[in-house]
Amino acid sequence: MTQTDPRAGVGAVLRDLRERLPEHVLVTDPAQRETYACDGLAAYRVRPALVVLVESADQVAEVVRACACHDVPFVARGSGTGLSGGALPHADGVLVVTSRLRTLHEVRPEDQRAVVDPGVVNLAVSRAAEPGGYYFAPDPSSQQICSIGGNVAENSGGAHCLKYGFTAGHVLSLEVVTPDGAQVTLGTEAPDAPGYDLLGAFVGSEGTLGVATRATLRLTRLPEDVRTCLAGFGGTDEAGAATSAIIAAGIVPAAIEIMDALAVEAAEAAVSCGYPEGAGAVLVVELDGPAVEVEQELDRVRRLCAEHGAVEFRTAADAAERAEIWKGRKSAFAAVGRISPDYIVQDGVVPRTSLPEVLREMGRISAERGVRVANVFHAGDGNLHPLVLFDAAQEGATERAEEVSGMILDLCVAHGGSITGEHGVGADKARYMPRMFEPADLDTMQLLRCAFDPAGLANPGKIYPTPRMCGERPRVVHAADEPSVDGAEVF
Amino acid sequence: MTQTDPRAGVGAVLRDLRERLPEHVLVTDPAQRETYACDGLAAYRVRPALVVLVESADQVAEVVRACACHDVPFVARGSGTGLSGGALPHADGVLVVTSRLRTLHEVRPEDQRAVVDPGVVNLAVSRAAEPGGYYFAPDPSSQQICSIGGNVAENSGGAHCLKYGFTAGHVLSLEVVTPDGAQVTLGTEAPDAPGYDLLGAFVGSEGTLGVATRATLRLTRLPEDVRTCLAGFGGTDEAGAATSAIIAAGIVPAAIEIMDALAVEAAEAAVSCGYPEGAGAVLVVELDGPAVEVEQELDRVRRLCAEHGAVEFRTAADAAERAEIWKGRKSAFAAVGRISPDYIVQDGVVPRTSLPEVLREMGRISAERGVRVANVFHAGDGNLHPLVLFDAAQEGATERAEEVSGMILDLCVAHGGSITGEHGVGADKARYMPRMFEPADLDTMQLLRCAFDPAGLANPGKIYPTPRMCGERPRVVHAADEPSVDGAEVF
């Protein structure tokens, strides 16, 4: 292929789109484009060359076809709340924003289905299903603003995914625009659809296999009863051991969360949640299901916590008290701002049984490097969210924090875990993929990417560390640090 | 490609393998090869050109590499119990039999994992995990003999998959030999592994993406209590309505099965299971979980059955009575031999809420065509197993039965269901795929197959109706035929 000015490609796409789409969906003004330069991971900023605020699935297909025709990369974006830079734009590419696609086409609690647009907000699905006694189970912390399309792209989880599973388990079929602009359906409403589970491969593919334009979701019945309790422990060792004991007893709580002393301190400073004073760790357990079962399980959780040294145990008597318990946990990330000017939210996984050891090793690293690490995490499935605290104004502090953050991921991989639990790989963790996968495994993943996207135009630079040639159509994927359309766009 | 004698290829493979594998794993004798000519779907028989009884993952890789080198097709086979002809050999190809790979490498109930060879029998995993209080949840009827490798290939289900899900939900990672002979790992033990869910796509790919050589499985905790009950109804309408009412009440039984009058008659004739006399339909419901929950749910199931016209309701008091209830259900397929010399076991799915209507329409088809249809099915997830009865000795009877069998699948698809619930597509249902999927959807599936297997050697002729040349681009991007703005950029 001859090397051409990358700006020419976007110019050609824009000319094509002006013939096919209404002008008001095309955003060309640099200042307006700048507002889309990052997602929830603000450390990375790239101003897209063109933004299209699509208003239909057909418009998505038009944009993708124009990009395919002119060899221009495209990135899809929902609400932009992702924490791994999965929706980081491409400087010479088109950003397809789906947030105007907000129609709830069908909500059918009687057969546990909802059919929605990709821009529909996660919580809006649950609100619509609630009168029928159902909800949409995946609950990322950002559920008040994050979109179903983004949940699909990142296979989002949340505190309650221990019991109910990630987004992949709650999507039955998707209408998708593939990177060549074809509009296809993946999956069916029936269980165990014949053929390959392309739906499963698409969910969590972080926008590299195409753009979802409609989703059929599985709704979950609201539980008869929900009980939330909180236990204070001397430290994370005891809280971790109590977690393992609860799971080993055959109880699968809806959520089981641990906050360490530093996280508790931060939450207390921010929202005065009244957690046990001086506790080295707080365990929050939420149980749901039939009332008789929940009541019995609550007794067993109380007993198991006591056996593992709980210094205090409280049960929320009503919804208000339940909200009080969650307030501290949910505010923890933001609250850390009270005790540190800057912080990195890390996301890793270890086998649950390795939790105490990994937490101890993390403590050693923290002490050795002089970098404070607060821990707030989904203990039930070993999904850690260490908050690495630093002050960017201090020389070398950012680098030290990043080093510690990377060491934590190494620790996770060394214990048989993963470099991400629920935030995805995106732009941020592509470099860590070779720590977890052998070259042959990564090559095998590229087979799928190249099959769907031989030209490498769908969200290039995400997930995989090295761009790869696809068959006979060699094409170097533009890295985010290449010269950009109007220059000086890369930060 | 030049046309050569297909047998020449197998000869070359055999010469290669004789240099690399011990002679005793190579089966060349025609009579011995004949014993592998079919799997559980005996209507199709093809004698393979060569059989290899592999004894290690490395041997699997040797066989696959030799096949790739000489352009020879290969088919993997576990215990050969599949019901869709997924392990039907290729006449000019190699059959890779994994039944000698039977090592249980690790059984670790403490973190709910087992690592096993593909030839390990399904029930052997549960037996090994039982002392630790765990089991392997997917339970095909053939679980006493079917292999984990076969379960993975077909994404097998069973009566208890309503509550616990299909095989795909119970496999954490696989070691796989891809069609080019590479040995790779798909998936990880961590939840939500980064990268594409190739593991999910591989499970259920019916041997078309490679051969699994080792599986890491998720073990499920044995429930504290199990209760099984049986209700007799006037007909399948009432039994179906009771099923919907149970699910709508938020109860997820471990299993919920319906047998119609003809199936009950057959079971009674075969094993004298003592089902309610003259019942138009029998509903079997199994509940499991914490004892207090099960007890309460059992009361509600009893009440709901009564409200929907149950003429009789029995609860098994102990394990022996539970076995008695299941005896009739489990023997139903074989029992049909008592009332008909020949029968086709069909496998289709409909949305649960469409069950009564589909059963009525099936009754109409049966009456119109003069072909008896017995129904035994997993009602909870709408997975029908109609048994189409015929006498092959009567002229035209086989054809009429096959026609009715196909009409039943059309009925399933017309109601938004699927042409297979748990038996797979295999050789048998490839022709039905276009009734369920649009050409663009099938083309998209072929992208994955061609990416893994460009030469089309892995289990050819299965799943997809028309083999596609892998070089062929299935679609043309629409914008490409527009006059280009900048000639150099259009392909």
The answer on pLDDT for A470 being more than 70 is: no
What is the Cα–Cα distance from A444 to A464, expressed in whole angstroms? Answer: 12
Token pair belonging to B90? 């290729």
Mean pLDDT value of segment B36-62: 96
pLDDT at A472: 38
More confident residue, A65 or B271: A65
Token pair belonging to B215? 């599986």
Angle at CA of residue B462, ends B459 and B465, nearest 5°: 135
Whether residue B109 lies within 8 A of chain A, CB to CB, comes out as: no
More confident residue, A353 or B283: B283
Amino acid at A486: D
Tell me the sheet residues that pair with A212. Answer: A176
pLDDT at B56: 98
The answer on A366 and A261 residing in a single domain is yes
User: B100 vs A156, B77, B118, B145, B183, CA distance in Å?
Assistant: 40, 11, 9, 13, 19
Q: Which residues of A touch B449 (CB under 8 A)?
A: 196
pLDDT tens for A217-239 read 999 999 999 999 999 999 999 99
The answer on B141 and B57 residing in a single domain is no
Measure B286 CA to nearest chain A CA, in Å: 17
Confidence of residue B295 (pLDDT cuts 50, 70, 90): very high
Q: Please report how many Cα atoms fall inside a 13 Å half-sphere around the Cα of residue A491, on the Cβ side.
A: 12
The answer on B231 and B183 residing in a single domain is no
Whether residue A196 lies within 8 A of chain B, CB to CB, comes out as: yes
Residue A456 is assigned to a structural domain of this protein: no
Asked if the ipTM is above 0.85, the reply is no
Burial zone of A343 (CB within 10 Å; 0-12 exposed, 13-18 middle, 19+ buried) = buried
B405-438 burial string, b = 16+ CB within 10 Å, else e?
A: bbbbbebbbebbbbbbbbbbbbbbbbebbeebbe
Residue of B140, B42, B135, B83 lying closest to B378 (CA atoms): B140
Token pair belonging to B268? 């009674």
Which CATH number characterizes residue B197's domain?
3.30.465.10
Confidence of residue A420 (pLDDT cuts 50, 70, 90): very high
Whether residue A185 lies within 8 A of chain B, CB to CB, comes out as: yes
Does the distance separating the beta carbons of A418 and B193 come in below 8 Å? Answer: yes
* Distant-in-sequence, close-in-space partners of A336: CB < 8 Å, separation ≥ 6: A263, A266, A343, A374, A387, A389
Q: Closest chain B residue to A296 measured between Cα atoms?
A: B292
Collapsed DSSP state (helix, strand, coil) of residue A323: helix
Residue B397 is assigned to a structural domain of this protein: no
- Torsion from C-alpha of B274, B277, B281, B282, nearest 10 degrees: -30
Q: Closest chain B residue to A463 measured between Cα atoms?
A: B195
What is the Cα–Cα distance from A273 to A154, expressed in whole angstroms? Answer: 31
Token pair belonging to B175? 């070691």
**Domain ends where: B338, B363, B384?**
B338
Confidence of residue B469 (pLDDT cuts 50, 70, 90): low
Does the distance separating the beta carbons of A353 and B110 come in below 8 Å? Answer: yes
pLDDT at A469: 57
Whether residue B391 lies within 8 A of chain A, CB to CB, comes out as: no
Does the distance separating the beta carbons of A293 and B289 come in below 8 Å? Answer: yes
User: Which of A190, A419, A448 is the closest to B448 by Cβ?
Assistant: A448
Angle at CA of residue A444, ends A439 and A449, nearest 5°: 120
The answer to whether the CB of B339 falls within 8 A of the CB of B262 is: yes
Does the distance separating the beta carbons of A201 and B201 come in below 8 Å? Answer: yes
Does the distance separating the beta carbons of B293 and A191 come in below 8 Å? Answer: no
Whether residue A201 lies within 8 A of chain B, CB to CB, comes out as: yes
Confidence of residue A373 (pLDDT cuts 50, 70, 90): very high
Mean pLDDT value of segment B310-324: 93
Does the distance separating the beta carbons of B489 and A8 come in below 8 Å? Answer: yes
pLDDT at A400: 96
What is the Cα–Cα distance from B110 to B338, expressed in whole angstroms? Answer: 46
Which CATH number characterizes residue A330's domain?
3.40.462.10
* Distant-in-sequence, close-in-space partners of A92: CB < 8 Å, separation ≥ 6: A6, A7, A9, A10, A49, A72, A73, A478, A482, A484, A485
Per the structure, the complete domain to which residue B317 belongs is given by 224-338
The answer to whether the CB of A355 falls within 8 A of the CB of A243 is: yes
What is the Cα–Cα distance from B346 to B348, expressed in whole angstroms? Answer: 7
- Number of domain units in chain B: 3
Which CATH number characterizes residue B278's domain?
3.30.70.2190
More confident residue, B316 or B336: B316
Token pair belonging to B102? 């039977």
The answer on pLDDT for B95 being more than 50 is: yes
The answer on A216 and A122 residing in a single domain is yes
Q: Closest chain A residue to B440 measured between Cα atoms?
A: A184
Tell me the sheet residues that pair with A376. Answer: A259
Whether residue B483 lies within 8 A of chain A, CB to CB, comes out as: no
User: Which of B292, B383, B486 is the closest to A296 by Cβ?
Assistant: B292
pLDDT at A483: 34
Mean pLDDT value of segment A114-139: 97
pLDDT tens for B16-46 read 999 999 999 999 999 999 999 999 998 899 9
Residue B466: CB atoms within 10 Å: 11
Q: Which residues of B touch A428 (CB under 8 A)?
A: none
Confidence of residue B470 (pLDDT cuts 50, 70, 90): low
Residue A432 is assigned to a structural domain of this protein: no
**Domain ends where: A99, A118, A151?**
A99
User: Which of A8, A181, A290 is the closest to B478 by Cβ?
Assistant: A181
The answer on A265 and A410 residing in a single domain is yes
pLDDT at A491: 25
Which CATH number characterizes residue A48's domain?
3.30.43.10
The answer on B147 and B78 residing in a single domain is no
More confident residue, A193 or B491: A193
pLDDT at B334: 82
Residue B364 is assigned to a structural domain of this protein: no
Amino acid at B474: P
State the Rg of chain A over Cα.
Answer: 23
What is the Cα–Cα distance from A401 to A405, expressed in whole angstroms? Answer: 6
pLDDT at A489: 31
pLDDT tens for B4-14 read 566 679 999 99
Tell me which of B174, B445, B447, B459 to substitute to probe the interface with A (most A C-beta atoms closer than 10 Å): B447
Does the distance separating the beta carbons of B296 and A433 come in below 8 Å? Answer: no
Element (H, E) at B16: helix B6-20
Residue with the two structure tokens 């491409």: A90
Token pair belonging to A472? 């006979």
Whether residue B182 lies within 8 A of chain A, CB to CB, comes out as: yes
Residue of B437, B438, B428 lying closest to B405 (CA atoms): B428
Mean of all residue pLDDT scores within chain A: 90
Whether residue A470 lies within 8 A of chain B, CB to CB, comes out as: no
The answer on pLDDT for B490 being more than 80 is: no
Residue A373 is assigned to a structural domain of this protein: yes
Measure A248 CA to nearest chain B CA, in Å: 7
pLDDT above 90 coverage of chain A, percent: 79
pLDDT tens for B202-211 read 999 999 999 9
Q: What are residue A235's phi and psi, to 5 degrees?
A: -165, 180
Token pair belonging to B121? 């029998």
Burial zone of B248 (CB within 10 Å; 0-12 exposed, 13-18 middle, 19+ buried) = middle
The answer on B217 and B112 residing in a single domain is yes
Q: Closest chain B residue to A439 measured between Cα atoms?
A: B184
The answer on B234 and B214 residing in a single domain is no
What is the Cα–Cα distance from B376 to B281, expressed in whole angstroms? Answer: 10
Mean pLDDT value of segment B284-299: 94
Token pair belonging to A415? 């214990």
The answer on pLDDT for A384 being more than 50 is: yes
Alpha-helix residue ranges (DSSP H) falling in A105-235: 122-129, 148-154, 161-164, 198-202
Confidence of residue B358 (pLDDT cuts 50, 70, 90): very high
The answer to whether the CB of A140 falls within 8 A of the CB of A385 is: no
Q: Please report how many Cα atoms fall inside a 13 Å half-sphere around the Cα of residue A135, on the Cβ side.
A: 14
The answer on pLDDT for B485 being more than 60 is: no
Residue B154 is assigned to a structural domain of this protein: yes
Q: Which residues of B touch A463 (CB under 8 A)?
A: 194-195
Mean pLDDT value of segment B77-97: 96
Does the distance separating the beta carbons of B190 and A416 come in below 8 Å? Answer: yes
pLDDT at B415: 94
pLDDT above 70 coverage of chain A, percent: 93
The answer to whether the CB of A387 falls within 8 A of the CB of A373 is: yes
User: Which of B417, B443, B445 is the closest to A196 by Cβ?
Assistant: B445
pLDDT at A433: 94
The answer on A288 and A174 residing in a single domain is no
The answer on B333 and B294 residing in a single domain is yes
Residue B443: CB atoms within 10 Å: 18
Using DSSP bridges, classify how beta strands B348-349 and B383-384 pair: parallel, antiparallel or unpaired. Answer: antiparallel
**Domain ends where: B313, B338, B363?**
B338
Q: Which residues of B touch A292 (CB under 8 A)?
A: 292-293, 296
What is the Cα–Cα distance from B45 to B43, expressed in whole angstroms? Answer: 7
Using DSSP bridges, classify how beta strands A113-116 and A134-135 pair: parallel, antiparallel or unpaired. Answer: unpaired
CA pseudo-torsion sign B319, B322, B327, B332? negative
Residue of B163, B167, B165, B206 lying closest to B187 (CA atoms): B167
Confidence of residue B472 (pLDDT cuts 50, 70, 90): low
Whether residue B172 lies within 8 A of chain A, CB to CB, comes out as: no
User: Which of A350, A429, A451 is the closest to B448 by Cβ?
Assistant: A451
Q: Closest chain A residue to B250 measured between Cα atoms?
A: A221
Residue of A194, A295, A9, A304 lying closest to B486 (CA atoms): A9
Q: What are residue A36's phi and psi, to 5 degrees?
A: -105, 15
Whether residue B317 lies within 8 A of chain A, CB to CB, comes out as: no
Measure B351 CA to nearest chain A CA, in Å: 7
Mean pLDDT value of segment B409-431: 93
| DSSP letter assigned to residue B386 | E
Does the distance separating the beta carbons of A204 and B201 come in below 8 Å? Answer: no
What is the Cα–Cα distance from B202 to A198, expressed in whole angstroms? Answer: 10
The answer on pLDDT for B475 being more than 60 is: no
Residue B365 is assigned to a structural domain of this protein: no
pLDDT at B486: 32
User: Which of B353, B421, B490 is the closest to A110 by Cβ?
Assistant: B353
What is the Cα–Cα distance from B391 to B167, expressed in whole angstroms? Answer: 35
CA pseudo-torsion sign B184, B190, B195, B201? positive
Which range among A312-321, A398-407, B185-194, B362-371 shows the weakest confidence by mean pLDDT? Answer: B185-194
Residue A430 is assigned to a structural domain of this protein: no
The answer to whether the CB of B257 falls within 8 A of the CB of B283 is: yes
pLDDT tens for A326-349 read 988 888 888 888 889 999 999 999
The answer on B229 and B217 residing in a single domain is no
The answer on B78 and B112 residing in a single domain is no
Residue of B331, B324, B323, B255 lying closest to B286 (CA atoms): B255
Q: Please report how many Cα atoms fall inside a 13 Å half-sphere around the Cα of residue A27, on the Cβ side.
A: 20
Amino acid at B450: C
DSSP A40-99: S-TT--B--SEEEE--SHHHHHHHHHHHHHHT--EEEESSS--SS-TT---TTSEEEE-T
pLDDT tens for A30-41 read 999 999 999 999
User: Which of A155, A442, A450 is the closest to B192 by Cβ?
Assistant: A155
Whether residue B184 lies within 8 A of chain A, CB to CB, comes out as: yes
Q: Closest chain B residue to A429 measured between Cα atoms?
A: B194
